[in-house]
Each structure stands twice: as structure tokens, then as C-alpha cells.
Amino acid sequence: MANRPPRETLEAARRATKKRDWPLASELFLELSRAQPEQPSHWNNLALARIHGGHGEPTCPQRRAVLLCPDNANYLNNLSARERGDARARLLERLLVIRPDHARARADQAFYLLQAGHADAALRAARVAHVVAPELSENLGRAAQAQLAAGDVDGGANFFRRYSVLDPDDRLGVRRDLARVGALDTDQAMSPAFVAGVFDGYSERFDEHLTGTLGYVGPRVLGGMLDTLSIQPAGRAVDLGCGSGLSGIELRRFADHLVGVDLSERMLERAGERGLYDALHKAEVVSWLEESSGGFGIAMAADVTSYLGDLAPFLGAVSRALLPNGILAMTVHERSASGFGIAVGDTYSHSFEHVETAARAAGLRIMAIERGAMRMEQKQPLPTMFLVLGKS
């Protein structure tokens, strides 16, 4: 195949792209890039095929495309989405010099400025972007977030109302920012679309960052608690919010049949690569549990409640899916205040009383609890309850 003429290879790559056969498209564009390394479009297309397919490193080919054609707005935009920090800022600035009307780049610039703590500059960028492309929901969403970051709650709420018409699923997570300042019910803070987007973007560096940088130990601690309680293997087990499959490493030994459920398609791809699961489902966990046939002996939910508000619906759905005497092992970011709320790291925390009350209402009893830190958050140990609950 490597000896075919470049034109024939390009046609084959285009056919593979049209069919969304990303592994083949990646292979063919790599062949083209090696045969004609001076062509920036080959490197850019290789990167895009790798991104869509979820396999292979896309940033190096994107950088190569920009080096070969530094004034191409599309190449700059694609690379800026992958880079971080100052490198991303410089790319966006260059892109906006070339294309000052590039609305998505303006929205990205607003997001970067927000992350850097420059709320006023972010608001200006978002407003310009909205003028350029009023139909682009990101511009209104970033404007809402910038207003809230600047302390203007009413202005942020006004932008949010307009943004939510264009993006009712709230892919940017503006609801969370409103909930943080008390302008929205806390239980509505995180939409499934927002959470899925966060983890889709996080998937490539998830394991290394979570276990290496943040020292994540949730599944390991829960697995040890199940051992201490002498929990016997179950016929069927479910890994709720399975992510890349870190919990599956612990849970597999307790199950003859292991099911994983997660919102993020990219995370499910990573989980599938481990070869631990008998079935994987892309779904929001509570909805999936309510629609499933149940029959699980063991369920695990490691770092899942951080993205759920009121735990009553979740624990009720888990209980209904468990067999009599079934087991739920889960982590909960603990708060000293009552109830639940948005805490450090912009995720949910819950009080012990809230967990206990919701568990009792669901017919679950607390069999064991340990306190510690499942990971670091903003360089501080994250206060965590590790719990094993049994169905009455």
C-alpha cells in the first residue's frame, strides 16, 4: 500500500473519512504525510483523523501544519484547541490578527482569559464574538461566565437566558457558575452534556493526570474495603461512571459479568481498550439504571457523586437495580455544612447526614465507612467518605 501514487492514497483517505473509518483514514494520511511532508493539509488531516478516532497523538501533526503554513486560520484554530497556557494564548492572538472576525477563536480567547482570571478582558472578547456571530451559543455562554466572574450576577443571568435558548443542554457549564453565586438551584448545576464534554476533552491525559498528578486512590480503597468485608464475587456487577476503566481493575475480580456506564464516549473507548468489561453503555447513570433490567450483585461509583446534586434519585435507582443483599461501594466528597453544594474544584460535595438520609430512604444501610482523601484538588487533599452500602 505504501507504494501507491499519492493521488490514489489521497482519494482512499477521503473515502475513509467520508465513511468515518478513522483508523484507516489516519493510516492513509500518515502515509501521505511521509510521502509529501511539505504539504500542510496532509498533516492537518492526519491530526483531525486521530482526534475523531481517539487514537494517536494529534498535536505534533497540527504543529507541523502550522509551521508549514503559519497564516492558515483553520490550522491555527485547530492547534489552539490542543495547546494550553501561553502557547494557546499566542496562537489565538495570531489567529485573530489574521482573522479578526473568527468568532470561535474569539469565544476561545474569552475562555482562556477567564481561566487566567481576566474577567473584564474575557467579557470584551465574548461581546465582540457575539457581534461577529450572534448565532454561536459559545459567545453568549462565555459572556455570561465573564459577567459572573466580574461580579455582575444580573448581567450574567441575562446572558445565560439568551445562551440557554441556543444551547439548552448547557455544554459550557454556565449553570454551575450561576449555582456557585446562588442564582440557580444547586441541584441543577451540572448538565450531562457539560460533564460529558469535560471528560471527552480530558480522556487523553486522564489516567496519567488523575493517578499520577492528583494521586487518585478511590477504586483501590473501595476494593480494599470490599476485601475487608469478605464480599463474595457476584454474577453481575456494574461500574457506574466507569471513565477510563480504573474502577474496573478492582471490580473485575468481584464479577463474572462486568458492565460499565459513562457519559463520555471517549472515556468508554479507553475503558474498552482495557478488555475488562463485558458490556459498555454511553448514558447518564441514573437514567440508565432506571431503564435497565437490574439484577446486579455489586455496583461501584468512584468519584461519581461529585457530579450529582441530591443523591436521593441516584441511590434509589441503584437500590432498585441491585439484587437483595446487593452491595454499593462509592466515594463522596464530604462537606461539613448540611445538605450538598458546589465545593472546591467546582464539583459537588455532600454531608454525611445527606448521604445517610438518602440511603435509608432507598433501602440501603451503611456497612462500612472510611474517611481520607481520594485525590488532591487544588494542591489540597480532597475530604472523602469511602462507603460500602448494602441493600436491606
- Domain residues for 218? 200-391
Q: Which of 99, 120, 140 is the last residue of a domain?
A: 99
User: Which residues pair with residue 387 across a beta bridge?
Assistant: 330, 369
Per-residue model confidence (pLDDT) at position 201: 82
Tens of pLDDT along the chain (392 residues) come to: 456 889 999 999 999 999 999 999 999 999 999 999 999 999 999 999 998 887 788 999 999 999 999 999 999 999 988 887 788 888 999 999 999 988 888 888 888 888 888 889 888 888 888 888 888 898 899 999 999 998 999 999 999 999 999 999 999 999 999 999 999 999 989 999 999 999 988 887 888 889 999 999 999 999 999 999 999 998 999 999 999 999 999 999 999 999 999 999 999 999 999 999 999 999 999 999 999 999 999 999 999 999 999 999 999 999 999 999 999 999 999 999 999 999 988 999 999 999 999 999 999 999 999 999 999 998 899 999 999 999 98
C-alpha span between 266 and 208 (Å, rounded): 15
Cβ(264)–Cβ(292) below 8 Å: no
Q: Is residue 170 part of a domain?
A: no
CA angle 138-141-146, nearest 5°? 120
Number of domains in the chain: 2
User: Phi/psi class of residue 298: alpha, beta or left (left: φ > 0; alpha: ψ in -120 to 50)?
Assistant: beta
Give the number of other Cβ atoms within 10 Å of residue 353's Cβ: 10
3-state secondary structure of 364: strand
My answer on whether 77 and 206 are in the same domain is: no
Q: Is residue 140 part of a domain?
A: no
Which DSSP symbol is given to 334?
Answer: B
Q: The CATH number of the domain where 232 resides is what?
A: 3.40.50.150
Q: Which of 99, 121, 154 is the last residue of a domain?
A: 99
Q: Is residue 90 part of a domain?
A: yes
Q: Is residue 386 part of a domain?
A: yes
Per-residue model confidence (pLDDT) at position 49: 94
Closest by CA to 330, choosing from 359, 353, 310, is 359
C-alpha span between 35 and 5 (Å, rounded): 9
Closest by CA to 28, choosing from 52, 4, 51, is 4
Q: Is residue 145 part of a domain?
A: no
C-alpha span between 78 and 283 (Å, rounded): 28
C-alpha span between 53 and 208 (Å, rounded): 20
Per-residue model confidence (pLDDT) at position 347: 94
Q: Is residue 189 part of a domain?
A: no
My answer on whether 386 and 257 are in the same domain is: yes
CA 231 distance to own-chain centroid: 31
Rounded-to-10 torsion of CA 85, 90, 95, 98 = 170
Per-residue model confidence (pLDDT) at position 2: 52
C-alpha span between 310 and 362 (Å, rounded): 13
My answer on whether 240 and 380 are in the same domain is: yes
CA angle 48-49-53, nearest 5°? 120
Cβ(269)–Cβ(282) below 8 Å: no
Q: Is residue 113 part of a domain?
A: no
Q: Which of 99, 117, 146 is the last residue of a domain?
A: 99
Q: The CATH number of the domain where 9 resides is what?
A: 1.25.40.10
My answer on whether 90 and 229 are in the same domain is: no
Per-residue model confidence (pLDDT) at position 168: 96
